[in-house]
Structure 1
Amino acid sequence: MTLRRVLTAAVVVVTSLVTVGAGAAAAATPSYSRYVALGDSYTSGPFIPFLRLDPIGCVRSTNNYPALLAATLHVSSYTDVSCGGADTTNMTNPQSVPLFGTNKPQFNALRADTDLVTVGIGGNDDSVFGNVVGTCPGLRDSDPHGAPCKAHFTVNGQDVLLASIAATQGKVAAVVQGIHQRSPHAKVLVIGYPRIAPPTGTCPDVLPFADGDYPYLDSIERALNAALSTAAGGGGATYVDTYTPSLGHDACAGSNAWIQGKNFNLFAAYPYHPLKAGMVGEAAIIARTLGVSRSVTSVAPTAPTAGVSTLTKLANALLKG
């Protein structure tokens, strides 16, 4: 065989291998066209720049994990109807929000040709999340080294928050079923809640809980995530664990934190809610769950966003509420 024939044969072989490799990579990475995001404030991203106006009371950020995921997946259609304060009833019922707005039933966004749905819901049912962050800090001074919040929510030997979470599991299962009914061909992901409290230690200037209520807060969150996981698995959806990968990114983690502490930062996050870093981290976790390894970056606003005066009015309304 001449040198020319050898080189020609080598080029053919290499070209074939590259083509096969590219085809295999393409086949291994699923493609989605029509993505719908449902959820509460841990999805909407309150006060992460920049806030959309549709309606502004939902405090829906242009840099929340649905926006970042949509950009990462290069979907052709993307609809985010998540809304701060939403619970499972707001999948089928409208939700009143501050500054005279209304968020339509979130299920209205689902279509028969929707092929990807993420839903992050459950923490507001029976006001579990609101009860924890609204009650526990105020009890700290009564027993700073004990667990006064745990004692407060234990009635006749039963933890009322855990009882509520048990009921939430069925509600989220019904949400998953409702998604499948409206979008039967969609990949459905139930998104868990990221870690708020550290596994050990305390940071009362950031999380003003009594020492013994740190593990209590963590136990409530783990119970909620377990309920979501069970609801997802029983309904043919995929549960996305953001709690385990967020180890080292809790509210006490300083510059590594994914969660804002007690202080309200008008241009970063609402108290006890995800920061932009948390949204980037969650988007990456979700992308990996879908088999996508592209890096996640910030996205430019795609809708009108709120100015400082409007943000201030909204913040005041939320804090009064």
Structure 2
Amino acid sequence: MRARRSLVIAVLAVCTVLVSAFSASAAPQRYERYVALGDSYTAGPLIPLQRIDPVGCLRSTSNYPAQLALRLLAPSFTDVSCSGADTGDMTAPQSVPLGTNPPQLNALRPDTDLVTLGIGGNDYSVFGTLIGTCPGLRASDPTGNPCQRHFTVDGVDTIKAQLTQTQANITNVLAAIHQRSPQAKVLAVGYPRIAPPTGTCPNILPFADGDYAWLTSVEEALNDAISGAASTDGDTSYVDTFTPSLGHDACAGAAAWINGKDIQLTAAPYHPNFNGESGLAKIVYAALG
């Protein structure tokens, strides 16, 4: 019995060491000063509780940066993301209802050691143009791709053509981040999936059936621009949220991370809901691990 007890104790000790070693290797490093930059997919419009600094940014206290900061136990956390922001608002003030959001890069300091950046969808009004135009074209050809045809001129997809410059804009933003916070770990966070790979839900996502695949291809091209900017920069890590958000598109019902066309008390149209922001937080946290 004494020998058996000794053996059990020895096995438990080994297991404890292995679990401790795994936990240490899996846990992200300690970050002291985290700054979040970005647009509405970062800010979390209408998700409770909303901040008022300024109120027009529609910045949630439960967006993915806030949830990430909580997971990281970061002593200093600054979130200056703002709905409607584009890359120009990183270095210039952004006018919003009832106030002004200062240039987002102003929040960076030499001792900032973690930066997340979620930007690009508003450059050249790509996101706003899609949701402002495509639903209105569905009735003209419900099973076709009227929106894709609308934005294709002389064989050129004019929406995707703009993304080359978007990539250059993001590359410039990343360079400015490194200049202001040279020691920071920088993550360029992509956009999660909006439309399902198959099937449609016109009552929620009112695009023509054939435009679902095109919408997805535009989003993939946008994420490629963000990934390309990170690769060109060389000191930035790209966080893919599109792939792991499969099954959480706007048509996914209770599993959806993206709200549909109707405004909700807790989520803006065509934007992440609370579950979406939680999902993004987990993805970014895993990227840090």
Structure-2-length-normalised TM-score:
0.93
Measure the CA separation in 2 of the matches of 1:213 and 1:27. Answer: 44
The match for 1:286 is: 284
Measure the CA separation in 2 of the matches of 1:193 and 1:28. Answer: 25
Q: Which runs of 5+ in 2 are unaligned?
A: none
The match for 2:272 is: 274
- RMSD, aligned CA: 2.0
Gap change, CA 1:114 and 1:200, over 3 Å in 2 = same
The match for 1:304 is: none
Q: Which secondary structure state, in structure 2, belongs to the residue aligned with residue 278 of structure 1?
A: helix
Measure the CA separation in 1 of the matches of 2:41 and 2:80. Answer: 13
Measure the CA separation in 2 of the matches of 1:257 and 1:97. Answer: 29
Q: Which secondary structure state, in structure 2, belongs to the residue aligned with residue 262 of structure 1?
A: coil
The match for 2:68 is: 69
Runs of 4+ displaced beyond 2 Å: 10-29
Q: Which secondary structure state, in structure 2, belongs to the residue aligned with residue 85 of structure 1?
A: coil
Residue number among 103, 108, 111 corresponding to 1:110 in the alignment: 108
Q: Which secondary structure state, in structure 2, belongs to the residue aligned with residue 32 of structure 1?
A: coil
Letter aligned with residue 38 of structure 2: G
Measure the CA separation in 2 of the matches of 1:244 and 1:27. Answer: 24
Deviations 1:85-143 (A, max 9, x none): 000000000000012x0000000000000000000000000000011011000011111
- Mapped pair 1:254 → 2:234: no
Q: Which secondary structure state, in structure 2, belongs to the residue aligned with residue 222 of structure 1?
A: helix
The match for 1:94 is: 93
Gap change, CA 1:178 and 1:274, over 3 Å in 2 = same
After TM superposition, the structure 1 stretch with the greater mean CA deviation from structure 2, 161-170 or 21-30, is 21-30
**CA deviation after TM superposition for structure 1 residue 26, in Å:** 3.3
Measure the CA separation in 2 of the matches of 1:83 and 1:24. Answer: 37
Q: Which secondary structure state, in structure 1, belongs to the residue aligned with residue 116 of structure 2?
A: strand
- Mapped pair 1:142 → 2:140: yes
Gap change, CA 1:203 and 1:18, over 3 Å in 2 = closer
**CA deviation after TM superposition for structure 1 residue 79, in Å:** 0.1
The match for 2:188 is: 190
**CA deviation after TM superposition for structure 1 residue 37, in Å:** 0.1
Residue number among 209, 226, 242 corresponding to 1:228 in the alignment: 226
- Mapped pair 1:207 → 2:205: yes
Measure the CA separation in 1 of the matches of 2:19 and 2:263. Answer: 49
Deviations 1:34-93 (A, max 9, x none): 000000000000000110000010000011000000000000000000000000000000
Measure the CA separation in 1 of the matches of 2:69 and 2:114. Answer: 10
Gap change, CA 1:200 and 1:12, over 3 Å in 2 = closer
The match for 2:170 is: 172
**1:2-13 map, 5 Å:** none
Measure the CA separation in 1 of the matches of 2:44 and 2:26. Answer: 31
Identity percentage of aligned residues: 60
The match for 2:33 is: 34
Letter aligned with residue 266 of structure 2: A
Measure the CA separation in 1 of the matches of 2:187 and 2:143. Answer: 39
Number of aligned residue pairs: 285
Measure the CA separation in 1 of the matches of 2:18 and 2:135. Answer: 59
**CA deviation after TM superposition for structure 1 residue 241, in Å:** 0.5
Measure the CA separation in 2 of the matches of 1:20 and 1:239. Answer: 31
- Mapped pair 1:155 → 2:153: yes
Letter aligned with residue 261 of structure 1: G
Gap change, CA 1:81 and 1:15, over 3 Å in 2 = same
Letter aligned with residue 137 of structure 2: L
**CA deviation after TM superposition for structure 1 residue 22, in Å:** 3.6
Gap change, CA 1:19 and 1:96, over 3 Å in 2 = same
Deviations 1:256-312 (A, max 9, x none): 0000000001x2111000000000000000001111xxxxxxxxxxxxxxxxxxxxx
Residue number among 206, 217, 233 corresponding to 1:219 in the alignment: 217
Measure the CA separation in 1 of the matches of 2:156 and 2:12. Answer: 67
**CA deviation after TM superposition for structure 1 residue 206, in Å:** 0.2
The match for 1:79 is: 78
